[in-house]
């Protein structure tokens, strides 16, 4: 909503008192917000979100867009809680008769630089307090002190993200009770073998590092349920991955991987994100991962999908955009829980007739930037629940008569950049449409048709 006007400026002592009261209230609110930000972390930092479960994940549909939304709840410590954030609040109050914008917000304060010696002190504090969490994140430390082993008795969560670490000390293996280890945004090229002693580790986050391979020690951490390796330099995934039978979430996004090993042993896998890699094929037994609800394959080099993908009947979100697919298997029709079907940016000319017709929960279909010369052959049945249909940048020359006769929910239709020369006679019956894009076609009598439709 946009405000287009307001009452005139007031004058006198009453207005001044009101302005002062407003300023005081704004300052108090800003101070409270500053304190909350210091203790809970900034909402722009996904690793500091106010999440109640240590393994809480954002809605999986949003996660298809960016798996980086995995959030971990944690107690603030060295960088956020020990020293109150000295933020100041600047409030500009409008005087009676003046027209000025009211600004209320924190004045940027330069963060103090922590040293490796400060890390030692924080470890000592954590030991004295018998704290189970240690947060050394965003402290610019170059090395984790070996005295970390002194926390073996109680430590279960260790946060080291956004530092300058190039390696971890061997002493980290003394943390037998460790369950959560956050190492993202460092410069790690490997992990020490002693990490295998952390047999209770459930979540390991090594996103945004410099790993050229999955460190072999990871395959010995058989209690892992969440393994996040996004944005590294990994080229190969070893067969030893099958040892991680408790994995629920595996992110290998934004690496250089060309193939995956057999995944049949990962029976508890719920989310697999291998988008933005160089995959040319999937393992034939992908269909044995029966618990999968999210499979993100976007931005790879896949030319086909295995028939076994149709066995993934729990699948709710499937990302296939921007691959090299020339066809999709008929078995995909068995994935009846899908609510979105997006094949944008592939090499498709047609779809099996049964696919869209049997996916009766679909609300959105995107087939743009392919080579379709005609509508999919499933008839009106395939659009019963669809709200958005996008076929832009194809070679479709005709919209079949009656194709939308059962599409009572269709509100958005995009046929831009096709070869349409006319619209079907029942065009005026598309009464549910709110948005229609027919740009860059070859329609001769479009103005007259649209005028009749609008009437």
12, 206, 215, 225, 333 from 271: Cα distances, Å: 63, 17, 21, 11, 20
- For residue 241, pLDDT beyond 70: yes
Helix H or strand E encompassing 373 = none
- For residue 1, pLDDT beyond 50: no
Span 85-102, mean pLDDT? 40
Which pLDDT score is estimated for 118?
Answer: 85
* Cβ pair 159, 186 in contact under 8 A: no
Give the tens place of pLDDT for each residue, 399-413.
999 999 999 999 999
Give the tens place of pLDDT for each residue, 418-437.
999 999 999 989 999 999 99
Give the tens place of pLDDT for each residue, 347-380.
999 999 889 999 999 999 999 999 999 999 989 9
- For residue 66, pLDDT beyond 70: no
- For residue 249, pLDDT beyond 60: yes
Task: Show Cβ contacts of residue 423 under 8 Å, excluding neighbours closer than 6 positions.
Answer: 399, 438, 443, 446, 449
Helix H or strand E encompassing 134 = strand 133-135
Give the tens place of pLDDT for each residue, 144-190.
999 999 999 999 999 999 999 999 999 999 999 999 999 999 999 99
Strands 180-182 and 203-205: parallel
Span 330-352, mean pLDDT? 97
- Distance, CA of 304 to CA of 205 (rounded, Å): 31
377 or 448, higher pLDDT? 377
SS3 content of the chain, % helix, strand, coil (to 5): 25, 10, 65
92 or 116, higher pLDDT? 116
Q: Where are the alpha helices (DSSP H) in 353-394?
A: 353-358
- Distance, CA of 264 to CA of 18 (rounded, Å): 68
Give the tens place of pLDDT for each residue, 269-285.
999 999 999 999 999 99
415 or 47, higher pLDDT? 415
Which pLDDT score is estimated for 452?
Answer: 64
297 or 71, higher pLDDT? 297
- For residue 7, pLDDT beyond 90: no
Return the bridge partners of 227, or none.
204, 250
Give φ, ψ of 235 to 5 degrees.
-110, -20
Q: What is 80-97 written as a DSSP string?
A: TTSS----EEEE--PPTT
Which pLDDT score is estimated for 398?
Answer: 95
* Cβ pair 194, 218 in contact under 8 A: no
Q: Kindly state the percentage of the chain with pLDDT values over 90.
A: 70
- Cα 385–chain centre separation: 26
Least confident segment among 5-14, 146-155, 195-204, 215-224: 5-14
The full length of the chain comes to 455
- For residue 61, pLDDT beyond 60: no
Which pLDDT score is estimated for 448?
Answer: 66
* Cβ pair 242, 218 in contact under 8 A: no
- For residue 89, pLDDT beyond 50: no
Among candidates 344, 318, 367, which has minimal Cα distance to 60? 318
For the chain, list the domains and their CATH numbers: 339-455 (3.80.10.10)
8 or 156, higher pLDDT? 156
Report residue 420 as tokens: 């349409």
Q: Give pTM, 2 decimals.
A: 0.76
């Amino acid at each position: 909503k946009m405000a287009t006007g307001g009452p005139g400026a007031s004058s006198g002592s009453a207005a001044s008192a009101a302005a002062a009261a407003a300023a005081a209230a704004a300052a108090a609110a800003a101070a409270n917000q500053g304190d909350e930000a210091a203790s809970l972390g900034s909402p722009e930092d996904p690793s500091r979100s106010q999440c109640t479960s240590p393994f809480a994940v954002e809605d999986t549909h949003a996660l298809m867009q960016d798996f980086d939304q995995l959030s971990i709840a944690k107690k603030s410590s060295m960088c956020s809680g020990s020293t109150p954030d000295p933020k100041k609040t600047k409030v500009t109050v409008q005087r009676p008769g003046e027209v000025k914008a009211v600004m209320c917000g924190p004045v940027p304060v330069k963060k103090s630089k922590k040293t490796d010696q400060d890390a030692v002190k924080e470890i000592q504090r954590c030991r004295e307090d018998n704290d189970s969490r240690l947060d050394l994140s965003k402290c610019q430390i170059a090395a984790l002190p070996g005295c970390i082993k002194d926390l073996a008795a109680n430590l279960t969560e260790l946060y080291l993200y956004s530092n300058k670490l190039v390696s971890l000390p061997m002493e980290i293996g003394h943390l037998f009770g460790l369950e959560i280890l956050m190492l993202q945004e460092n410069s790690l090229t490997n992990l020490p073998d002693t990490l295998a002693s952390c047999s209770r580790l459930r979540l390991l986050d090594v996103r945004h590092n410099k790993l050229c391979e999955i460190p072999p020690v990871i395959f010995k951490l058989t209690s892992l349920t969440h393994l996040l390796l996004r944005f590294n330099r990994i080229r190969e995934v070893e067969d030893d991955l099958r040892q991680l039978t408790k994995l629920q979430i595996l992110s290998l996004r934004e690496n250089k991987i060309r193939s995956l090993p057999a995944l049949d042993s990962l029976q508890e896998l719920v989310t697999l994100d291998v988008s933005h890699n160089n995959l040319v094929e999937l393992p034939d037994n992908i269909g044995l991962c029966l618990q999968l609800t999210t499979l993100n394959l976007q931005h790879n080099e896949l030319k086909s999908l295995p028939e076994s993908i149709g066995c993934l009947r729990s699948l709710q979100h499937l990302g296939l955009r921007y691959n090299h697919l020339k066809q999709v298997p008929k078995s995909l029709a068995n994935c009846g829980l899908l609510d979105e079907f997006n094949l944008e940016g592939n090499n498709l000319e047609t779809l099996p007739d049964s696919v869209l017709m049997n996916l009766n929960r679909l609300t959105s279909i995107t087939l743009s930037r392919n080579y379709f010369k005609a509508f999919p052959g499933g008839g009106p049945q395939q659009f019963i629940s669809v709200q958005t249909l996008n076929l832009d940048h194809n070679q479709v020359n005709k919209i079949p008569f009656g194709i939308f006769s059962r599409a009572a929910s269709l509100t958005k239709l995009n046929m831009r950049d096709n070869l349409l020369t006319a619209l079907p006679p029942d065009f005026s019956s598309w009464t549910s449409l709110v948005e229609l894009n027919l740009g860059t076609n070859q329609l001769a009598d479009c103005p007259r048709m649209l005028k009749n439709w609008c009437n």
